[in-house]
Amino acid sequence: MAEFDVDLFVIGGGSGGVRAARIAAGYGAKVMVAEEYRMGGTCVIRGCVPKKLFVIGSHVHDEIEDAAGFGWSIGQVSFDWATLVANKDKEIARLEGAYTTNVEKSGARIAKTRAVLEDAHTIRLATGEKVTAKYILIATGGAPNHGPIVPGIEHVISSNEAFHLKELPKRIVIQGGGYIALEFAGIFAGFGSDVTVIYRGDNILRGFDEDVRKHVRAEMEKRGITIITGCTVAKIEKHGRDFTTHLSSGSSIASDQVMFAIGRHPNIANLGLETAGVAINPANGGIQVDGWSKTSVDNIYAVGDVTHRTNLTPVAIREGHAFADTVFGKRPVEVDHATIPTAVFSQPEVGTVGLTEEEARAQFSHVDIYKTDFRPIKATMSGRDTRVLMKLVVDGASDRVLGCHIVGDGAAEITQAVAIAVKMKATKADFDATIALHPTASEELVTMRTPTARHVRQAAE
């Protein structure tokens, strides 16, 4: 008789957990996955996928406006929010089905219920069933964080609810200055809402390159989005179907929807982590893991947003795959969390990989900056007041490209390709030796010959 019911029990049916389950099953492991909500996790159900669909839909308004400059006469048009939501729901349901089918095809069993740890090897399901496992993987992701409780917090929605609103808000106040806040600001503005963004810091997109932060803010404000920095929401009052949002600055804003998007926290509550002896990292509030995703308990691992390392879906997938290779494939794989490309699907779009100028200047004695800010070719005919930013951060001593930052249409697509070069430690000379592809915006990356700035850090005496 087997010592354990399964070789691997995965708590969480999101991208990281599903990848780990499928790869482990492929190595011959007996695998079980528990998911209490919907297969697919944050990204598929209430994150990147529906968000990107909404972003694409909101771009249509610009395309219609821009068409006149290219000779198109488009008659009266209308937009129906309910149709968008319904079609999005159909696509998410299709993807959920695909995730479920792929796990089952791999030979793993799915339990659509909550799972809680009773000890290092025992999991109790909400159905009452108990399962023992040789290894346990926690991949429960993250959840929206509303931050400090303020009066009227019960009236606030998160990104979760934003995907299911019955009506498009005419006026919306969004608190936050990161990915989610800015992406939804662009979405709602694109569909015609009056949008106000409130952020406590001095400027949006904290942690991004300073030139990117300034450029995105200027472009969003050109689009009619109001951005108020240096203050927070102090109170929300409801008046019938409307709200009054009171700010810490003393001013107030009327709207028919208020959204908080001030970050996400690891989904670690009520999982039985303490009972099993799984430690939490005091620095970030996520499950503490080593470079192999192992927790403080030898047979329990954790991947993805629940560890609060790098909260990106492809990272969770890579971590889940590496875990399965290491534990069940006997092929030790440690994930490299350096030089991870990322995108913000704001409007304008941001794509970035590698170091910011500020980070590079702190780490390297000689830093060269190549930067260009230009009007894209489409705008010359459409008449739209918009500009593209492209920036390369280079080690002045070795000529290695340390970072690339792009703001404009297609920024994410361009960055994915550039990330390969940056990961391979390409030099500025390698970029210069690459022939431009004309006419494109991205050709600027290989035609910038003269540094716009050179920084030399003086050695301490």
The radius of gyration of the chain from alpha carbons, rounded to an integer in Å, stands at 24
Are 5 and 132 in contact, with CB atoms under 8 Å apart? yes
* Cα–Cα distance for residue pair 25/8, rounded to 1 Å: 9
**Counting Cβ atoms within 10 Å, is residue 131 exposed (0-12), middle (13-18) or buried (19+)?**
buried
Residue 14 tokens read as 């999101």
Q: Which residues pair with 124 in a beta bridge?
A: 116, 130
DSSP structural state of residue 158: -
| Residue partners of 38: CB distance under 8 A and separation at least 6 | 13, 45, 96
Are 159 and 172 in contact, with CB atoms under 8 Å apart? no
Q: Which residue has the tokens 């106000």?
A: 196
Are 46 and 17 in contact, with CB atoms under 8 Å apart? no
Are 198 and 340 in contact, with CB atoms under 8 Å apart? no
User: In which region does residue 319 sit, left (phi positive, over 0), alpha (psi from -120 to 50) or beta (all else)?
Assistant: alpha
User: In which region does residue 275 sit, left (phi positive, over 0), alpha (psi from -120 to 50) or beta (all else)?
Assistant: alpha
Phi first, then psi: give them for residue 299, nearest 5 degrees. Answer: -100, 5
* Cα–Cα distance for residue pair 388/106, rounded to 1 Å: 45
Residue 350 tokens read as 């941001």
Containing 254, the helix (H) or strand (E) segment is strand 252-255
Angle at 151 between CA 150 and CA 153, to 5 degrees: 70
| Type of residue at 341 | P
* Cα–Cα distance for residue pair 211/372, rounded to 1 Å: 11
Residue 271 tokens read as 């999982």
* Cα–Cα distance for residue pair 173/184, rounded to 1 Å: 11
What residue spans of 130-232 are helical by DSSP H?
159-162, 179-190, 210-222
Determine the straight-line distance between the first and last CA of the chain, rounded to whole angstroms: 71
Query: Which amino acids are annotated catalytic?
Result: 438
| Residue partners of 310: CB distance under 8 A and separation at least 6 | 337, 340
